[in-house]
């Protein structure tokens, strides 16, 4: 909220009363990082030393701001932001088992503190003194310096019970008015700077681009919760890993058993396959031999067939030749028969009487012998009237 209202101010000035740690939950750190300077008031020696180291160009006052100057009782609770100058608050912490250490520390008034600022405007004043707010403001009597914005812790330490009614009138009397509250702190703006009131109309939001400080108690709790959850997850992971390792070992055993079984079955299969292969090869050889034998038989049969075919061809050819020869003979015989018949017809024609039949008988005998030429000659004589010669030579009457 302070940065929204005052972020445009260059080289501003601040007062941080109850500064505590220079980093953790620090309001001044952001402004110091942007060139601002200021005064850090911190009575605890440990934190005062840290502030001097962190902000060497700023003024660090190791004291309590009180209603009077001098020395006051202070109750320190190491390692916390709960140290206070209020006795009843310290007793309450002690009852809650916090280790409280009492000491004497220097004190100065708010008038003195404001005087140390010189002519510089104080752009913001923050007061976080664990229930000692009334005493701090009571020492602001005479100074005319008016910080632009005042931020006051407004609850009883470690509670949500407000206590601002005890001291708010001091601020109202000095010209301040309330502009914003975040539940822990109340913001007051001086009337001379009322033009900044609109900066406090809404709480921090996305338009402020704000970030939670990783050193803050809230973030620390978140981190602790996160780390606790991470630790639980890591433990769970460890247990799951152990369970998975057991499962993996069990699976490895099963895989090993399956592998051994597979190896045995593979060996048995290979043996059977070898036997099957051997049997197959033997059968294959038998088949090859059978094929060879069949081929030999086939070749032999084919050779015999060819030989027989040749013989058949020769026999068939011979028969054909014989048939042709016989046919030729028959044709020759038929031709001779035709010639004989023709000759006989001629004889009949020429003779024209009963001698034809005797001549026909004679010719029939004659043509069946080899005496054709002799017969023809005798026939010629007979036809010529030499009957005696004819009958003598032929024996035909």
Q: How would DSSP label each residue in 78-97?
A: TTSS--BS-HHHHHHHHHTT
Of the residues 209, 231, 262, which one is the last residue of a structural domain? 209
pLDDT of 354: 47
Q: Could you give the CA distance from residue 343 to residue 257 in angstroms, rounded to a whole number?
A: 122
- The three-class DSSP label of residue 67 is coil
Residue 28: burial class (beta carbons within 10 Å; 0-12, 13-18, 19+): buried
In a domain, 314, yes or no: no
Residue 234: burial class (beta carbons within 10 Å; 0-12, 13-18, 19+): exposed
In the chain, how long is the greatest CA-to-CA distance?
218
In a domain, 305, yes or no: no
Q: Which residue has the tokens 């997850």?
A: 233
Up-side HSE of residue 76: CA atoms within 13 Å toward CB? 17
Q: 0.85 cut: is pTM over it? A: no
Structure tokens at 234: 């890591």
Domain that holds residue 359: 352-394
Structure tokens at 359: 């001549």
- The three-class DSSP label of residue 149 is strand
pLDDT of 344: 58
Of the residues 161, 191, 209, which one is the last residue of a structural domain? 209
pLDDT of 369: 47
pLDDT of 37: 96
66-109 per-position pLDDT tens digit: 999 999 999 999 988 899 999 999 999 999 999 999 999 999 99
In a domain, 342, yes or no: no
Of 30, 59, 46, nearest to 118 (Cα)? 59
Domain count, the chain: 2
Helix (H), strand (E) at residue 244: helix 217-351
Q: Could you give the CA distance from residue 387 to residue 379 in angstroms, rounded to a whole number?
A: 10
For residue 162, give the DSSP letter: B
In a domain, 233, yes or no: no
pLDDT of 393: 55
In a domain, 89, yes or no: yes
- The three-class DSSP label of residue 181 is strand
Q: Could you give the CA distance from residue 151 to residue 129 in angstroms, rounded to a whole number?
A: 12
Of the residues 209, 235, 251, which one is the last residue of a structural domain? 209
Residue 396: burial class (beta carbons within 10 Å; 0-12, 13-18, 19+): middle
In a domain, 229, yes or no: no
pLDDT of 53: 96
For residue 190, give the DSSP letter: E
In a domain, 303, yes or no: no
Contacts of 50 (CB under 8 A, 6+ apart): 21, 22
279-318 per-position pLDDT tens digit: 777 887 888 888 888 888 878 877 877 777 777 667 767 7
The sign one gets for the Cα dihedral 147, 151, 156, 162 is positive
The CATH number assigned to the domain holding 204 equals 3.40.50.150
What is the full per-residue pLDDT of the chain (397 aa) written as tens digits? 999 999 999 999 999 999 999 998 899 999 999 999 999 999 999 999 999 999 999 999 999 999 999 999 999 999 888 999 999 999 999 999 999 999 999 999 999 999 999 988 999 999 999 999 999 999 999 999 999 999 999 999 999 999 999 999 999 999 999 999 999 999 999 999 999 999 999 999 888 887 776 666 667 777 788 888 888 889 888 888 988 888 888 888 889 888 888 888 888 888 877 777 777 778 878 888 888 888 888 788 778 777 777 776 677 677 777 778 887 888 887 777 777 666 655 654 555 444 544 555 555 555 544 444 555 555 555 555 555 655 565 555 5
Torsional class of 391: left (φ above 0), alpha (ψ -120 to 50), beta (otherwise): alpha
What's the chain's length in residues?
A: 397
CA distances, 386 to each of 79, 362, 371, 377, 393 (Å): 193, 16, 19, 12, 11
In a domain, 162, yes or no: yes
């Amino acid at each position: 909220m302070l940065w929204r209202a005052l972020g445009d101010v260059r080289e501003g000035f601040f007062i941080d009363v109850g500064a505590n740690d220079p980093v953790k939950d620090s309001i001044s750190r952001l402004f110091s990082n942007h060139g601002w300077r200021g005064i850090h008031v911190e009575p605890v020696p440990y934190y005062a030393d840290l502030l001097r180291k962190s902000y060497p160009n700023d003024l660090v006052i190791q004291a309590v701001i009180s209603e009077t100057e001098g020395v006051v009782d202070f109750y320190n609770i190491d390692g916390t932001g709960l140290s206070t100058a209020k006795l009843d608050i310290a007793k309450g912490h002690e009852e809650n088992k916090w280790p409280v250490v009492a000491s004497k520390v220097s004190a100065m008034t708010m008038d003195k503190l404001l005087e140390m600022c010189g002519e510089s405007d104080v752009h913001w004043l923050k007061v976080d003194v664990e229930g000692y707010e009334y005493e701090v403001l009571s020492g602001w009597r005479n100074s005319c310096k008016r910080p632009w914005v005042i931020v006051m812790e407004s609850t009883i330490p470690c509670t949500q019970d407000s206590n601002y009614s005890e001291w708010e009138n001091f601020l109202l009397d000095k010209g301040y008015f309330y502009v914003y509250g975040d539940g822990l702190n109340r913001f007051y703006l001086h009337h001379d700077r009322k033009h900044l009131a609109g900066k406090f109309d809404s709480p921090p939001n996305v338009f402020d681009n704000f970030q939670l400080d990783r050193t803050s108690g809230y973030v620390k709790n978140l981190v602790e919760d996160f780390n606790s959850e991470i630790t639980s997850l890591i433990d769970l992971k460890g247990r799951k890993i152990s369970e998975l390792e057991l499962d993996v070992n069990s699976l490895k055993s099963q895989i090993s058993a399956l592998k051994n079984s597979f190896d045995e079955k593979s060996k048995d299969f290979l043996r059977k396959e070898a036997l099957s292969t051997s049997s197959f090869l033997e059968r294959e050889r038998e088949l090859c031999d059978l094929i060879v034998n069949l081929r030999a038989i086939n070749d032999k049969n084919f050779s015999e067939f060819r030989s027989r075919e040749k013989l058949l061809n020769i026999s068939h050819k011979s028969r054909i030749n014989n048939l042709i020869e016989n046919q030729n003979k028959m044709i020759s015989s038929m031709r001779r028969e035709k010639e004989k018949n023709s000759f006989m017809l001629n004889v009949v024609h020429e003779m024209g009487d009963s001698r034809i039949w005797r001549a026909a008988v004679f010719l029939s005998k004659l043509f069946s012998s080899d005496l054709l030429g002799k017969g023809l000659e005798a026939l010629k004589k007979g036809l010529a009237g030499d009957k005696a010669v004819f009958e003598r030579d032929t024996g035909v009457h």
